């Protein structure tokens, strides 16, 4: 059984409301060095599926290519 980790993030230039809010909240907490916060999704996926199949899952359902990028890492082949 293969195990994958998938990271889904907003594309550059897409405004990320939760990220922007976290950014302001961190500044309010006194963390003045924070320049950018982007919040995304982390997905753990396991099964008898190939990397290509997981890529297709991301393109069709797990991410929306219109607004999001995704990165798949193979944890276990």
Q: Are 54 and 4 in contact, with CB atoms under 8 Å apart?
A: yes
Q: How far is the CB of 77 from other proteins (least distance, A)?
A: 26
- Binders in 14-33 for other proteins, by CB under 8 A: 14-18, 21
Q: How far is the CB of 67 from other proteins (least distance, A)?
A: 5
- Which residues have C-beta within 8 Å of that of residue 29, sequence separation ≥ 6? none
Exposure of 47 in the CB half-sphere (CA atoms within 13 A):
8
- Residue 12 within binding range of other proteins, rule CB under 8 A: no
Chain contacts with other proteins (rule: CB under 8 A):
13-18, 21, 61-62, 64, 66-67
């Amino acid at each position: 059984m293969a195990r994958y980790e998938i990271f889904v993030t907003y594309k550059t230039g897409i405004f990320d409301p939760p990220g922007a809010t976290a950014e302001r909240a961190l500044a309010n907490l006194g963390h003045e060095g924070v320049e950018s916060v982007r919040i995304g999704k982390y997905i753990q996926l396991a099964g008898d599926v190939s990397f290509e199949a997981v890529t297709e899952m991301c393109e069709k359902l797990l991410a929306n290519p219109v607004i999001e990028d995704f990165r798949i890492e193979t944890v276990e082949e």
